[in-house]
Amino acid sequence: MPRQELARFLRDRRERLRPEDLGLASGGEPRRTPGLRREEVAELAHMSVDYYVRLEQARGPRPSPRILDGLAGALRLAPAERSHLFRLAGTSPPPGTRARRRVRPHVAGMLRRLPETAAVVTDASYDVVACNPLARVLIGEDLDGESNLARRRFLGRGGNHFSTGAEEFGRIAVARLRRSADRYPRDAALAELLAELHAGSEEFRRLWEERPVHAPGHRTKTLDHPEAGRLRLNCDVLLVPEEDQEVVLITADAGSSTARSFHRLAARVARTDEDTGSEGPVARRGTSGAPGLLGAG
């Protein structure tokens, strides 16, 4: 454990905080040093002052995950800073208690800036938590029904456009759900989903026992769209690691017939937005009409 680096990190983050940021009374007395006092951090982290002082002086023992979690909360560390704190202490940062099901504003904003790319965000349980207007038109307008891609794939729920890659997506989905089950053992919604898939799908049970392993990457799919006809689609994944979410970007090869179809569909979306005065809101909790389409991740 690099004690000196850990000590510098704790001092730096403590000195950046102001008492009023944490609802602490200043007491009216001037502070000799910037930021919080060590006593205040120790109290907020539910630990002894002596132990915290030793950590800042690079004399303390390796802190436990419970202590590190307390320090991360007391110092108001961002997710990346929390992970860095655990690494400095020589410990792997534990995941949260359940999958993140909210989309960060900057991710939602990115979806709006992709007019001729269909984009969908899925969480660790394969719920679609956001998608842009082109994705709605391309994959299916009905976003009020089943919003979980694993249920659609294994239980046959929701609309079904023909798509290649459905079998491959089954293995991809199981690999990701297995990882999620290990990361979030106390997530009640995820546990309910897995129980439902085990009970309702022999294929899911078989794949679960096979323990497939998959890393996100590029995939090519073919979709029969009711309006645009047969489309050849590229699916690529961007990871949002701090939220354990994936952004699937669905594009077409430049100059292809699919690209021309994308252009027409995007123009239709733009006209609809102009007619309604909308800025193209990103749909939340929506999903696909094609169970094998989003299998890039």
Output the pLDDT for position 141: 56
Same domain, 118 and 262: yes
253 assigned to some structural domain: yes
User: What is the spatial distance between Cα 50 and Cα 48, in angstroms, rounded to a whole number?
Assistant: 5
Highest mean pLDDT of the ranges 94-103, 110-119, 143-152, 266-275: 110-119
Tokens 């202490």 map to which residue? 89
pTM of the full structure: 0.64
Percent of the chain with pLDDT over 90: 31
Domain of residue 161, CATH code: 3.30.450
Give the count of beta carbons closer than 10 Å to the beta carbon of residue 38.
18
In the chain, the amino acid numbered 145 is G
Domain count, the chain: 2
- Which residue, chain included where needed, has tokens 């239709």? 268
In 3D space, the residue among 49, 104, 100 whose CA is nearest the CA of residue 74 turns out to be 49
CA nearest to 243, candidates 98, 68, 110:
98
What are the start-end ranges of the E strands in the chain? 118-122, 128-131, 219-225, 229-240, 245-251
Q: Write down the pLDDT at residue 290.
A: 44
The pLDDT confidence band at residue 123, using thresholds 50, 70 and 90, is very high
Q: What is the pLDDT of residue 271?
A: 80
* CATH code for the domain of 43: 1.10.260.40
pLDDT at 286: 39
Closest listed residue to residue 196, CA positions, set 211, 177, 210: 177
Radius of gyration of the chain (CA): 24
Average pLDDT score over the chain:
81
Looking at residue 215, its amino acid is A
Q: Comparing 200 with 29, which gets the higher pLDDT?
A: 200
Domain assignment of residue 50, given as a range: 3-88
State yes or no: pLDDT of 289 exceeds 70: no
Q: What is the pLDDT of residue 257?
A: 93
Say if 134 falls within a structural domain. yes
Assign 196 a pLDDT band (cuts: 50, 70, 90).
very high
